[in-house]
Amino acid sequence: MLEIFPALPLLLGAIAAVFTRGRLRAALMVAAPVVGAFVVWSQTQGATVEFELLGYTLTPLRIDTLSTLFGYLFHVAALLGVVYSLHLKDTTQLVSSLAYAGCAVGAVYAGDLLTLFVFWELLAVTSAILVCARGDDRALGAGLRYLLVQVTSGVLLLVGILAYAGAGNSLDFDWIGTDSPGGWLILVAFGIKSAFPLVHNWLTDAYPEATPSGTVFLASFTTKVAIYALARGFAGTEVLIYVGATMACFPIFYAVVANDLRRVLAYSLINQLGFMVVGIGIGTELALNGAVAHACTDVVFKGLLMMSMGAVLHVTGEMRASELGGLYKKMPKTMLLCLVGAASISAFPLFSGFVSKSMIVSAVLKEGYDVVWLALLFAAAGVFHHAGIKIPFFAFFAHDSKYVKTAHEPPTNMLVAMSLAAALCIGIGCYPEMLYGLLPYATDYSAYDTSHVLAQLQLLAFSALAFTSLKLYHVYPPELRSIHLDAQWVYRRLAPTTLNWLFVRIQRADRAFRGFALSGLGWVTRSIVRHHRPTGTLARSWPTGSMMLWMAMLLFLTLVLYYL
Amino acid sequence: MLVVLAPLVAAPAIVLIGRARAAWHLALAAVVASFAAACAIAWKVSREGAIDYALGGWEAPWGIAYHVDFLGALVLLTVTGIAVAVVTYARPSVEREIPESRRYYFYGCLMLCLAGLLGMTITGDVFNLFVFLEISSLSSYALIGMGRDRRALNAAFQYLVMGTIGASFILIGIGFMYMMTGTLNMADLAVRLPEVADTRTIRAGFAFLTVGIGLKVALFPLHLWLPNVYAYAPSVVSAFLGATATKVAVYALLRIMLGIFGVEFSLGEMPLHALLVGLGSLGVVSASLVAVFERNVKRMLAYSSVAQVGYMVLGIGLANTDGVTASILHIFNHALMKGALFLALGAVMYRIGSVHIRDLAGLGRRMPLTAAAILVAGLSLIGVPGTVGFVSKWYLVLGALESGLWPLAALVLFGSILALIYIWRLVEVVWFERPAADAPAIDEAPLQMLAPILVLAFANLYFGINTDLTAGLAQRAAEALLEVNR
């Protein structure tokens, strides 16, 4: 059958959203991801669309199991996000959300590196609009920093592609590896978008600043596109295992001390990405399956958590753990849905996180990376700690906050979106075969064997114990009204102060120089005017005698010159 | 011969008749005849090469020879052409500016001056050149002195003193040359000079000639007589002298320095090129700057003339084909633009009675054709592509780059910017400002004045686009000059 670009329905939906309003727009926006998912379903595996451009063969569309899986995933995420944001009237935000989702779909179907680059940059632009959508100074600043990082990633990608293609490789987007400098550049570009350690700050910086629904979209696409790209281009690259393990562990500490609950989730997002990166780094069929499966479940449960926090933010306008609490009295449904998300991210058996995370952990153990395995166990416990317990505890329980009086359930569309996500979490958790069937490699993996379940339950129990005892003995870091800086310190403190110091000096030198130049210029101009104005030396009528003098002088001069 | 003879004979005839109307008719007939003769000569030269004519059958080097080559033909055409335009134009303007009793003298002097300039161009004898120079100078002093106020007399007196000294310098130079070679014929001199070139006498003579001709050319800083002369002379005289006098002096410079002394001696052994380039550049910048600040438009154009002379001298100083071509071309082109501008200002003077920039406000509404001519000639003076000014500046820049002197090319462009400033100031006042409330209602100038103005303005455009005739002639003249004594 005729191959349709799967990104088309979402992009058309975005265009339609520009020109329509009210219910029509709502219907169109919901229809767009549904139609898109149908397109994904109707496509033939292995089909490609190619065309020639300037002597290069470009493949804007390539359909295989990996892209199909992400195609479904992104349409589901887009649907959840759209439903969640139905109550909005902000055209800019709605349009850029859909366009953003469309670009993500386009990116995973890109069959060549140039097409990938184009969507890569489009992703950056559309998502930056979402970050800025709140419109205040903080959001604009975060948006610009975000855009800067994303564009840097795009530029690195382009340079990498050029170097890679220049070394005689084809432009097809398949396994790239790190054998060539171009490959390294591309890896770094992917790494920036996957929030590798030290280049992760754009994520924790920007996501908490977006609007409630904006964050839902943001958390779903950018990093998952990067994970997809890593899985396709760099499967089995060993360095990724250690990078991933670091990613899984270090955010835990930050997540524990972070006060903004969405920032906690952002750190937790990096931690989940760490699991996937480890899976990609191992590169066996089981590990890759686990990585992409975890990407799928993560989109749903992280989306659910983001949605529930967004709902709290929407209702109260507050996101700091220190100011929230006790909301279960007024928002019981939200609280329940949030708990489903928390259970999923913590990988409780029967919830979605369990079926995917256990695949990665098993693969790690199977390939004999014991240290990494321990790190992942620690990370898994930490997840339960900060995402599974901290989020619902501080938002809905803890002490009663001043918001309890005025709080209420969020709009219906939000609840519907969250319920859909929660249903998916439980559905995948109970019937993992549904997900496994879509994975790129055939698998007979079973999550529910005794050892997995038992190990996970022990982990969870002790983690809960730790949290409880810390809390009881008041050792738990209190929620402080603070913004903490990690590696961002380099560019939010060190760079500005250094630059400032430099600029002050440059400015001083510059001012002195310009002052000097200006006064010199002024002097020259004044003397020109003085001598050339109608009464000036050179312009006034001279007495005959002076003319004679000039003549004599010139004669003298020429005589001297000629005799020399 | 007719080319010089017609005005030379017409001059005493006019004085003898002593009636203004008849004088004008006779003058017109003389200049037309002269122009026709010039055309014939130019045509003959372009077909057969240089013409020699021995006066009275006495062969050179004993008799007085006339010699016309490409360069001479071009200058003849320029001078007679401008003369036709000016004389046609003259009648209404002269009727307004000069008392009836002196008008026939005026025409007589004008004819004499023309005859002198043409004689300088055509002669092949250095002493003859001095004689014609004096004829043209003396008559021009008289012409300038007929200006409407006493400042003209003062200017004429200053010019008289300076011009006489300049002429005597030239005479001294010629005397030195005669002393060493025993001949006055240019071709003969060119042959004999190299033998004695390395003597003090010749060098001193060369220095006297440089300064003497430099004064006539209005080379910076010997230009000081010029602004007042142009500003206070009658309009017709300003236009005629502005368009021809300094050009013929530049021609004389070319003939004597390159034609007689030869390129190698003048620009090689002697540091004349350094002098010309240095003083030319100074002249361009300084005179242009003065023009920027000047409020009297005639004076402003006078300073602009000094700057333009600077360009010509620069071109000669470069001593390569393109540079000398630029100079020769600029003789012709500058005559066109300055002729048009001064004639247009004469028309303004005729209608408004002033050429102060303040009184020109809104001229574009009241005298649109004259104002249009000012615009066209002004653009040409700046050197806008499509006008003659562009062509000569183009060659000048080429010449500067050929010699590797890019700062000079930059200087030419800088001079053009300065020209843009002072011309645009004029254009803005003329076209964009409203006339003062108490300005008298006036019409366009009479057709007799307007026609020459428009013809010259049109020529500015025509020769700016069709450059074959002028640039071709100038280039051949330059090649001939530079080849002669190689």
Give pLDDT tens digits for B264-322: 777 777 788 888 888 899 899 888 988 888 888 888 999 999 999 999 998 888 888 88
User: Would an 8 Å CB–CB cutoff place B209 in contact with chain A?
Assistant: no
Please indicate, yes or no, whether residues A343 and A322 belong to a single structural domain of this protein: yes
State how far the alpha carbon of A157 is from the alpha carbons of A67, A124, A444, in Å: 20, 13, 37
Question: Which of A547, A548, A558 faces B275 most closely, judged by CB atoms?
Answer: A558
Q: How confident is the model at residue B85 (pLDDT cuts 50, 70, 90)?
A: very high
A245 and A381 both lie in a single domain: yes
Q: Which of the four pLDDT bands, split at 50, 70 and 90, describes residue A259?
A: confident
Max distance between CA atoms of chain A, in angstroms, equals 121
Counted domains in chain A? 4
Q: Which of residues 378-437 of A touch B (CB under 8 A)?
A: none
Angle between helices B297-318 and B235-253 (to 10 degrees): 10
d(CA A526, CA A523): 5
Residue of chain B nearest A557, judged by CA positions: B207
CB contact under 8 A, B295 and A534: yes
Per-residue pLDDT, averaged over A499-508, amounts to 82
Give start and end residues of each alpha helix (H) in B123-185. Answer: 126-145, 150-181
* B150 in contact with A, Cβ within 8 Å: no
Which residues 297-316 of B are in CB contact (within 8 Å) with A? 303
- Is the Cβ pair B227, A528 closer than 8 Å? no
Q: Is the pLDDT of residue B155 over 60?
A: yes
CB pair distance less than 8 Å for B227 and A541: yes
Look at A558 and B211 and tell me if their CB atoms are within 8 Å.
yes
Tell me the per-residue pLDDT of A462-474, one tens digit each, with 9 for 90 and over: 888 887 887 777 6
Contact A550 B224 (CB under 8 A): yes
As a whole number, the mean pLDDT across chain A is: 84
Contact A555 B211 (CB under 8 A): yes
Last residue of a domain, one of A481, A496, A517: A481
| Model pLDDT, residue A1 | 41
A127, A218 Cβ separation under 8 angstroms: yes
Please state, in angstroms and rounded to a whole number, the distance separating the CA atoms of residues A5 and A43. 10
Check pLDDT > 50 for residue B485: no
Residue B80 pLDDT more than 90? yes
Note whether A283 and A175 are same-domain residues. no
What is the rounded average pLDDT for all residues in chain B? 87
pLDDT of residue B199: 84
Question: What is the model's pLDDT at position A491?
Answer: 62
Please say if the pLDDT value at position A394 is more than 60.
yes
Angle CA(B447)–CA(B448)–CA(B450) in degrees, nearest 5? 55
Domain boundary among the residues A179, A214, A234 is at: A234
Nearest residue in B to A558, CA atom? B207
Query: Is the domain of A268 the same as that of A401?
Result: yes
Nearest chain B residue to A559 by CA: give it: B207
pLDDT score of B61: 65
Judgement on whether residues A292 and A377 belong to the same structural domain of the protein: yes
Neighboring chain B residues of A561 at a CB cutoff of 8 Å: 270-271, 274-275
Q: A524 to chain B nearest CA, in Å?
A: 13
What are residue B138's DSSP bridge partners?
none
Residue A106 and residue A213 in one domain? yes
Q: What is the DSSP annotation of B418-438?
A: HHHHHHHHHHIIIIISPPPTT
| ipTM surpassing 0.85 | no
Q: Mark A339-372 as b/e (b = at least 16 C-beta within 10 Å).
A: bbbbbbbbbbbebbbbbbbbbbbbbbeebebeeb
> What is d(CA B100, CA B102) in angstroms, rounded to the nearest whole number?
5
* Residues of chain A neighbouring B227 (CB-CB closer than 8 A): 539, 541
Chain A contact for B21 (CB, 8 A cutoff): no
Q: Hey, are the CB atoms on A539 and B158 less than 8 Å from each other?
A: no
Q: Compare all CA atoms of chain B with the CA of A548 and give the residue at the minimum distance.
A: B162
Q: Which pLDDT belongs to residue A167?
A: 82
CB–CB of A532 and B200 under 8 A? Answer: no
Q: How close A514 gets to chain B, by Cα (Å)?
A: 23
**SS3 of residue A133 by DSSP:** coil
- Smallest Cβ–Cβ distance between B203 and the set A539, A541, A563 belongs to A563
Q: Is A366 on the interface with B (CB under 8 A)?
A: no
Same domain, A331 and A476: yes
Helix or strand or coil: residue A103? Answer: helix
Query: What chain B residue is nearest to A552 in terms of C-alpha separation?
Result: B211
Q: State whether residue A502 sits within 8 Å of chain B by CB.
A: no
Looking at residue B116, its pLDDT comes to 93
Determine contact: A529 vs chain B, CB below 8 A: yes
Q: Is A45 on the interface with B (CB under 8 A)?
A: no
Chain B CB contacts of A541 under 8 Å are 224, 227-228
Size of interface A-B (CB pairs under 8 A): 78
The mean pLDDT value for A406-427 works out to: 88
Q: How confident is the model at residue A478 (pLDDT cuts 50, 70, 90)?
A: low
pLDDT of B486 reads: 44
Q: Which domain holds residue A81?
A: 1-234
User: What's the confidence (pLDDT) of residue B225?
Assistant: 87
DSSP states of B182-211: S--BHHHHHHHHHHHTTSHHHHHHHHHHHH
Residue that finishes a domain, picked among A202, A234, A266: A234
What's residue A488's pLDDT?
A: 61
pLDDT at A55: 66
Q: Are residues A359 and A508 in the same domain?
A: no
Confidence of residue B186 (pLDDT cuts 50, 70, 90): confident
For residues A43 and B75, the model is more confident at B75
For B319-367, write each residue's pLDDT tens digit.
888 888 999 999 999 999 999 999 999 898 888 888 888 888 888 888 8
Note whether A247 and A195 are within 8 A (CB). yes
* Domain co-membership, A466 together with A505: no
> Does B286 contact A532 at a Cβ distance shorter than 8 Å?
yes
Q: What is the DSSP letter of A410?
A: P
Question: Is residue A539 less than 8 Å (CB to CB) from chain B?
Answer: yes
| Orientation of helix B388-402 relative to helix B406-427, angle to 10° | 160
- pLDDT for position A53: 67
Is B293 an 8 Å CB contact of chain A? yes
Give the start-to-end residue ranges of the domains of chain B.
273-486
Judged by CB atoms closer than 8 Å, whether chains meet at A551 and B211 is answered as yes
Query: Which of A555, A556, A563 to mutate to test binding with chain B, by most B CBs within 10 Å of its CB?
Result: A555
Judge if A525 and A442 occupy the same domain: no
Looking at CA atoms only, how far is residue B411 from chain A in angstroms?
Answer: 17
One domain, residues A101 and A250: no
Given A539, A548, A554, which is nearest B214 (Cβ)? A554
Residue of chain B nearest A535, judged by CA positions: B294
What residues of chain A lie within 8 A of the CB of B210, using their CB? 558
Q: Which two tokens stand for residue B16?
A: 């003898």
SS (H, E, C) B246-288: HHHHHHHHHHHHHHHCCHHHHHHHCCHHHHHHHHHHHHHHHHH
B165 touches chain A (CB under 8 A): yes
Residues A319 and A262 in one domain: yes
**Quick one: residue A172, left, alpha or beta (phi over 0 = left, psi -120 to 50 = alpha)?**
beta
The reply to whether residue A539 touches residue B294, judged by beta carbons under 8 angstroms, is: yes
With an 8 Å Cβ cutoff, is A550 touching chain B?
Answer: yes
Q: Which residues in chain A have Cβ-Cβ distances shorter than 8 Å to B211?
A: 551, 554-555, 558
Q: How far is B200 from chain A (nearest CA, A)?
A: 7
Contacts for B404-413: CB closer than 8 Å, 24+ residues apart: B405/B277, B405/B318, B408/B277, B408/B281, B408/B314, B408/B318, B411/B281, B411/B284, B411/B285, B412/B284, B412/B311, B412/B314
Question: In chain B, helix, strand, coil percent, each to 5?
Answer: 80, 5, 15
Partner-chain contact B271 A562, CB within 8 Å: yes
What region, left, alpha or beta, does residue A489 occupy, with left being phi > 0 and alpha being psi -120 to 50 degrees?
Answer: alpha
